[in-house]
Chains A and B, each alone.
Chain A
């Protein structure tokens, strides 16, 4: 191993002592270091203490601003000085590790070195990771001749369960590349788990496409990929191929109708159907009436009147609704109940409530091909729940909800999450299903379903809370992404074991969600480039700044 480069010495003064947690050290003012770089301090007892740089400051012997002003001939902006002021940099580092577990503060004037790649690996706790899963790469000493790039691996059990589960990705649109990062992680999971034969090692994915055609070609090659990106995938020991075993589901629409329910080009739809990887999903009244409640996800219902109407509808023995077979019969019956003078369910529910209910379901169901009488499998039609129930190991199901209005997006999402949750609960075991050990659900714009403003009675929020709170043991894992983490329900973010912080703005970083981060890191969040994330995971000894390569699958422009 090459000799470590000596870059400075530890500072311990009355005002800034070294402690168990942190220490300061000076360096030359031209020594280039960055936040998150690891440094090594040699101690007298032959152990090494490692620290992560949190902030770097530059000072000179100038005692006040006035000194500098006076040094420019009392304010002449053109003055150049024949001697540079004596200056130095000092950095604050957070102690991350000591080779013998001795965290007594490092001593004044101890030598501070750059760490070798091996040392960086164990200083960050990346050396003995069980069930390794690549989650990106990190760069140390960036922009210097000592630059080091290392793959970062986390313990899959802390991402997919059983030790910890769920991922939350936050960051502003575009600049943070949230979807790309989630896709990169899923790609890494698929590559890692593809050939595992053990029971615990089976993973499947359910993705919701919420924007344009973004995720509608994840099994197609990206022909515009640069060599550099391919090289990055190679270095991370990931395959350079797009996703495998992908199935797409788009909301059903009649081919004769001009209204399409997807942004996917009709030719693509035809070709996908031809290669048997795309199906159009329908909701059939008899099988899907239990999901009607999902249409009320964002409706305030303080007196639970909507909820009681829904319970009445799904009650098989109900006089009015028990025997209905189609959506039109259902709408008719709802209409009847909304008539003036109708006694509803014996006066328990007011006509006004029925009318409210009617407005909402009418808007959703009427004139929508997706709500149909029956499924014709020969025409590549399906019920989404049936497909999800039979999801197999390594499969990726992409559900396209991009073109649906918000209430119907919620309906589809809620229905799918409910089905997956029930599947893993074993509700369909008698139907001969064999679900994989873990199912990853990825949804962008999580704030639509799990924001802190969503009504507490929202069935989707309830479903998401179920998943985040109990999914770890069941094997249902939520990968959620949103612009502003602070807007998400605390119980959702609180239950995520892994957090990825992407580029965001200073209004966001000033909220309570970011209080635990040191100032430098908080400010760094506002400057991160596309493809850079700060990752928090129980396995890592500190936050890590990682980067990941561009998507390997086809990109629509």
Chain B
């Protein structure tokens, strides 16, 4: 094959999309949709399915509980159960505008959204971080109307075509592949199409995270001595399948027995103390103390969360009173946990270990240093280091 032929056979991804979906590509300006906007907008945190029910631990303290002594004790003995660290992230771009003909021969333009999704797990062994698993894929979100038949199976076959493209070939060997494109809804409401596409990619990322957790559990790597710490909230919901099938539900719960979520940022308005929102209670949390555990449940879902806050850094050394506080979440799994909340001893122990994670810091490289713990920071750096550069990625389209 001559060089000219090879170039002519190299179809851009937007070209394949146009051909396969029957749309018309406008080759519009390509740009990143990642901005300083909080991911809260895309996640379902605003959803009020879960609400404060009661105290979520066996021996609830009346107020803040100091863990200074326990943390020191554990540090001296080098005791550790936080072994695995998971971080998922995504970079989302608008890569094209595609026109689809609708009723009355009208042509409507929809954005094509593409994201690089990466989920990585690092393991801590002898105080050193080593990569455990990494998953990377390119996720496209196109308007649901891109599927001309609407009968299903279309996007799956589209992904086959995408994965066969010459454009992908050059990065395939590095482990990149196209996931099945996810359609976004096109019904009229106040949300922008770009945001809808971004939210779908975010959901896809959360799914990948769940799969990674499942994989670790399946390999028998998580247990009482080896917890997984996930970056961010445990915003995992039961899928329809989980709800309907008891076995699947049990598996889900089993998977999360040894998983905790650590959030760097949280909505202070959603901080509850004795059932009432009380941001001041969290803001005044003294150094190396934790709040009592709150039990969050739902009427709709058979799932409960234990949520508490831990302060790692002195208020006088941070910018805002909420810097230096981590929100800890754990899905309540066992029957007794669901009934009475977590064992206070376990909460104390996990909190003390989290407090010990305050050093080393990523001060100087990450402005969120006060809320970051180093192993998560490294996992994040690992995942992000595996991304394609924006130029390289946009060149695919």
- Interface residues in B97-141 by Cβ distance below 8 A to A read 124, 127-129
Partner among B78, B314, B317, B378 whose Cβ is within 8 Å of the Cβ of A86: B378
Q: Does A303 contact B (CB under 8 A)?
A: no
Among A64, A80, A85, find the residue whose CB has the most chain B CB atoms closer than 10 A: A85
Chain A residues near B80 (CB-CB < 8 A): 82
Q: Is A83 a contact of B374 with CB atoms below 8 Å?
A: yes
Using CB atoms, name the residue of chain B closest to A74.
B317
CB distance B363 to A83 under 8 Å? no
Closest B residue to A79 by CB, please name it.
Answer: B359
Task: Give Cα A26–Cα B359 distance, bound, in whole angstroms.
Answer: 26
With a CB–CB cut-off of 8 A, which chain A residues contact B353? 82
Contact with A along B351-375 (1 / 0, CB 8 A): 0010011111111110001000011
Chain A: minimal CB distance from B254 (Å): 27
Contact residues on A (Cβ < 8 Å of other chain), bracket: 20 to 34
> For the complex, what is the distance from the CA of A175 to the CA of B359, rounded to whole Å?
45
Contact of B145 with A by CB under 8 A = no
What residues of B have a CB within 8 angstroms of the CB of A73 in the complex?
A: 358-359
Are B360's CB and A83's CB within 8 A? yes
CA distance A64 to B127 in the complex (A): 22
Residues of B within 8 A of A80 (CB): 75, 78
Task: Please indicate the chain A residues that have their CB under 8 angstroms from the CB of B78 in the complex.
Answer: 80, 82
A66 contacts across to B, CB distance below 8 A: 363-364
Among A67, A68, A71, A83, contact of B129 (Cβ-Cβ < 8 Å): A83
Report the separation of the CA atoms of residues A61 and B374 in the bound assembly, to the nearest whole angstrom.
11
Instruction: Select A82's contact among B356, B361, B365, beta carbons within 8 Å.
Output: B356
- Per the bound structure, the CA–CA distance linking A80 and B314 in Å amounts to 18
| Alpha-carbon distance between A71 and B313 when the two chains are bound, in angstroms | 11
* CB–CB B317/A72 < 8 A: no
A86 touching B129, Cβ below 8 Å: yes
Docked CA distance A217–B216 (Å): 75
> Which residues on B sit within 8 Å (CB–CB) of A84?
127-128
Q: Is the CB of A83 within 8 A of B127?
A: yes
Asked whether A81 lies within 8 Å of B129 as measured between CB atoms, the reply is: no
Q: Are A63 and B365 in contact (CB under 8 A)?
A: yes
Which residues of chain B come closer than 8 Å to A64, judged between CB atoms? 364
Give CA–CA (A85, B375) in the complex, Å: 9
CA distance A26 to B38 in the complex (A): 37
Instruction: Let me know if B127 and A63 touch, CB within 8 A.
Output: no
A70, CB-defined interface residue at 8 Å:
yes
A63 vs B127: C-alpha distance in the bound complex, in angstroms? 20
Is A271's CB within 8 Å of the partner chain B?
no
B127 adjacent to A70 (CB under 8 Å): no
CB pair A61 B365 closer than 8 Å: yes
Closest residue of chain A to B369, judged by CB? A70
Contact across chains for B375 and A83 when beta carbons are under 8 A apart: yes
Interface contact A70-B378, CB-CB below 8 Å: no
Determine if A71 and B359 form an interchain contact, defined as CB atoms under 8 angstroms apart: yes
Within 8 A of A (CB), among B45-102: 75, 78, 80, 82
Kindly state whether residue A345 has any CB partner on chain B within 8 Å: no
Q: Which of A61, A68, A82 contacts B75 (CB 8 A)?
A: A82
Residues of A within 8 A of B129 (CB): 83, 86
CB distance from A491 to the nearest CB of B (A): 55
Is A47 an interface residue, CB under 8 A from the partner?
Answer: no
Residues of B within 8 A of A83 (CB): 124, 127-129, 357, 360, 374-375, 378
Asked if A62 is at the interface of the complex by the 8 Å CB criterion, the answer is yes
* Chain A hits for B362, CB < 8 A: 61, 67
Q: How far is the CA of A84 from the CA of B374 in the complex (A)?
A: 9
Contact with B along A388-419 (1 / 0, CB 8 A): 00000000000000000000000000000000
Query: Do A67 and B127 touch (CB < 8 A)?
Result: no
Select from chain B the residue with minimum beta-carbon distance to A65. Answer: B364
Which B residues touch A68, using CB under 8 A? 360
Closest to A68 in B: B360
A87 to chain B, nearest CB (A): 10
Report the minimum CB–CB distance from A62 to chain B (whole Å): 7
Cβ–Cβ < 8 Å partners of A62 in chain B: 360, 364
Q: In chain A, residues 407-462, which have Cβ atoms closer than 8 Å to a Cβ of chain B?
A: none
A residues near B (Cβ < 8 Å) are 61-64, 66-68, 70-74, 79-86
17 sampled A-B residue pairs with Cβ under 8 A = A63-B365, A67-B364, A70-B363, A71-B359, A71-B363, A74-B314, A79-B359, A80-B78, A82-B78, A83-B124, A83-B127, A83-B360, A83-B378, A84-B127, A85-B360, A85-B374, A86-B378
Please list the residues of chain B having a beta carbon within 8 angstroms of any beta carbon in chain A. Answer: 75, 78, 80, 82, 124, 127-129, 314, 317, 353, 356-365, 369, 374-375, 378, 381
Identify 5 new A-B residue pairs, CB closer than 8 A, beyond the known A70-B369, A85-B374.
A66-B364, A70-B363, A80-B75, A82-B78, A82-B82
